[in-house]
Amino acid sequence: MTEIGASQVVAEPIKKEPKPRKTKRSLYCCFELAYGNIGVFRELLTIISEGFTDDLPLHIFEDGIGVRVMDPSRISMANYVIRKSTFEEWQVRQQNHDYPMPQLPVTVMVPVKEVLYAIEKAGKDARVRFEIGVVFSTIAVKTVATMRKPEKCPNCGAPTTDNQLPSHKRGKKGNLYKCICGWRGKVRTWQKKVKTYETSVEQDESMFFIMVKEKTEESWKIDFLEENYEEPPLPILHPEAHFKVAACEFRAQIERLKKRMDTAVFVGKPDKLIVHGASDVISGNIELKKGSDIVLDLRCNAEQKAKYAIDHLLSVLPKKTVAEVINLEYSKDIPIKITALTTLGDSTIEYFIAPRIESE
């Protein structure tokens, strides 16, 4: 048998994987707030910072900006859409002539605490200007993804990724599912190779400036965060109980319950809203009748009862600087929708809180 000598071994050339193609897009957005709107905007960001997240996903639309986030427990959601009519100045256009403008909306991530620091001293006579110049780069990559059917809860629209059932109650196939809203059903999962597009911000070519003009002129530059954001879908709700209430006075009632209770049960009736609280040693009701200084209006044809965590309620119930009036909308054992009627024109400021449903 003939041995193969070292000189006879031919090394095959190593094939280099082609680098993924990178495409770039650029965008410039400028908006300016003045007068009382600055205080409202600052308080809205404070609610995000204290009750939801440190990373602010700022969505840029053709006609305004938006924010949609959930808290770490995925019980509460905030959804803001601030229209361009709110701003003293509004621009959105291509930033760099070498790169085309991306399709809107786009999302940039910024540290909310640094934004609050930049505008914390802005008074009622200040003008605050925000300038965003960003270059995005996108590459296509192949990956293995977990597919789900259904992808969203048919009751509230939340992604079917947060199963409330313990592992031993999910059946032999592991497909029994319970949503945070209480819906139960089967969710099938499987693995699939898919092509995805990863988008990142080119930090060296991007900037975020905040300029505050009042008695002094301040200019702050804030770095963007790496984008790692999946936008939660809005819940699909069909509320049967609608209450228009005075914001500060209603918040005061919930704050009083917090001294002794962890949860509040809302009992809607055709002529009033009853807020029930109970602890180990004390329980009671607060009746808020239609036409009072607190319940300004209501629409509720039949009794609607649901329980919510007080901490989550207080984390979103606005103070007077944001709104004097809020709308409460809910039904039996579904998320409550809280809408703040602010001075920001036709903007949308709303919050959703999942109910506390007792384990069966």
Is 360 exposed, middle or buried, given 0-12, 13-18 or 19+ CB atoms closer than 10 A? exposed
Query: DSSP of 302-332, one letter per residue?
Result: S-EEEEEEHHHHHHHS--TTTEEEEEEEE-T
CATH assignment of 22-139+197-221, among 3.30.70.980, 3.40.50.720, 2.40.30.10, 3.70.10.10: 3.70.10.10
At 225, the amino acid letter reads L
Counting runs of H as helices and runs of E as strands, what totals does the chain give?
A: 4, 21
Query: DSSP of 78-117, one letter per residue?
Result: EEEEEEGGGSSEEEEE-S-TTSPPPPSPEEEEEEHHHHHH
Angle at 86 between CA 85 and CA 87, to 5 degrees: 95
The domain locations on the chain are 22-139+197-221, 143-194, 241-353
Residues 6 or more apart whose CB falls under 8 angstroms from that of 79 comprise 66, 67, 68, 234, 348, 350, 351, 352
pLDDT for res 196: 75
State the 10-residue block means of pLDDT for the chain, 360 residues long: 53 63 90 91 96 96 96 94 95 89 93 97 93 90 86 87 89 90 90 81 91 95 86 90 96 96 96 95 95 94 95 91 93 94 91 82
* E strand or H helix that includes residue 68: strand 64-70
Residues 6 or more apart whose CB falls under 8 angstroms from that of 259 comprise none
The model scores a pTM over 0.85: no
Query: DSSP of 205-225, one letter per residue?
Result: G-EEEEEEESSSEEEEE-PPB
pLDDT for res 360: 45
Residue 34 to residue 192: CA distance in whole angstroms: 50
Query: How many CB atoms are closer than 10 A to CB 221?
Result: 11
Q: What value does the CA radius of gyration of the chain take, rounded to a whole number of Å?
A: 26
Residue 360 to residue 335: CA distance in whole angstroms: 19
Judge if 22-139+197-221 and 241-353 fold alike in CATH terms.
no
Torsion of the alpha carbons at 247, 251, 254 and 259, rounded to the nearest 10: -170
The superfamily CATH assigns to domain 241-353 is DNA Polymerase III, subunit A, domain 2 (3.10.150.10)
